[in-house]
Amino acid sequence: MARSSRSQDWGFPRWRGYGAASAATQVRMCDRHGCDQPGDRPAPKSPNSRERWYFCETHAGEYNRNWNYFEGLSAEEAAAREASERRDAGGFAQSAHNSWAGPGDGTRSRDEMRALDALGLEPDADFEAVKLAWRRLAKASHPDVKPGDAEAATRFQTVQAAYEVLRAAEERRMGLG
């Protein structure tokens, strides 16, 4: 019997099943000795090299735990490379001004901006100015100074809350919190 050269898809290639190709797919195995898992996570064989190992997830994690990015560099060269890479990526850290904080240089959150507004300060005020404004306003509206005045008590609570927000932000900036 002669073999037919006619295809069975009747002109509609979508009728064939997906993945119906007869060729086997190539699966790369993990390069770790004795591992039989697929090696689908590339890792460099040495710093600044194009050659790669291919590990499974478990062995890639083990490899990365022991990876030294600055291997083969002197302390000065490692410091210079780190400084240049921080300088190059510094734009990402400085892009905080694109947040929804409003006016200012972009280093303050929306809550900090509201707190500065409650204290009657400019967006670029330093923490010493915050302390001075807080003391002045707290003394002026303290409940002991104005007993029985509900509006002064509310102003005092607002000033206290604003100061707490700004103090916590300053501690975070200084690395204390």
pLDDT of residue 101: 42
Q: Does residue 38 have a pLDDT over 80?
A: yes
Percent of the chain beyond pLDDT 90?
21
pLDDT of residue 62: 84
Closest CA to 38 of 69, 60, 62: 60
Q: Is the pTM of this model over 0.85?
A: no
CB-CB contact of 106 with 156 (8 Å): no
The residue among 157 and 78 whose pLDDT is bigger is 157
CATH for 99-174 is: 1.10.287.110
Q: CATH 1.10.287.110 occupies which residues in the chain?
A: 99-174
Q: Does residue 142 have a pLDDT over 60?
A: yes
The residue among 100 and 75 whose pLDDT is bigger is 75
Q: Does residue 97 have a pLDDT over 70?
A: no
Burial class (CB in 10 A: 0-12, 13-18, 19+), 73: middle
Q: At what angle do helices 150-174 and 110-118 cross, to 10 degrees?
A: 140
CB-CB contact of 57 with 41 (8 Å): yes
- Given its phi and psi angles, is residue 50 left (phi above 0), alpha (psi -120 to 50 degrees) or beta? alpha
In the chain, how many H helices and how many E strands?
Answer: 5, 2
pLDDT band with cut points at 50, 70 and 90 for residue 18:
low
Quote the tokens at residue 42: 């590339």
Q: Helix, strand, or coil here: 38?
A: strand
Percent of the chain beyond pLDDT 70?
73
Helix (H) or strand (E) holding 163: helix 150-174
- The gap between the terminal CA atoms of the chain, to the nearest Å, is 85
